[in-house]
Amino acid sequence: MTGLQKVAAVYAAILLGAAALNYIPGVPDAGGLAFGIFALDPFDDALHLASAIWAAVAAWLGVRASRSFLLIFGALYLGDGALGLLTGWGYLDFGIFTNPSLGPSFSLLRILANLPHIGLGGVALAIGLWARPR
């Protein structure tokens, strides 16, 4: 297994964990917020599960599929997180299409709510751009 395949496999595990957050006692608070920061609904869980499956299949298929996953996933999730900072909503869950913009905000809560997508997306994109399949 190459380095890119290992990274894709790690992403599969992380995304599987994200899909499970709502179902771990104590993670969602009484208001339904994970870690008291953001709400995850069944659509979000399905999106994370589909992304985890995509990452796992890419890791299994090989280095080129893993790099493609990291590039596409990275761009999509980084863009979603950046849009969340600018509008309060992302596009991956269609929130930008169903809710009015809350305007840009760099408050701690907005940053923390979007940091998982910005961080995971940014790292995936950077690794995908940096690593060349051999």
CA gyration radius for the chain? 15
CA dist 33 and 48 (Å) reads 16
Per-residue model confidence (pLDDT) at position 133? 60
Over residues 5-36, the pLDDT tens digits come to 999 999 999 999 999 999 999 999 999 999 99
pTM over 0.85? The answer is yes
The total number of structural domains in the chain stands at: 1
Can you give the residue range of the structural domain that contains 23?
Answer: 3-130
Which residues are within 8 A (CB) of 116 and not within 5 positions of it... i.e. 6 or more apart? 18, 81
pLDDT of 117 above 80: yes
Q: Beta-carbon neighbour count of residue 6 at 10 Å? A: 12
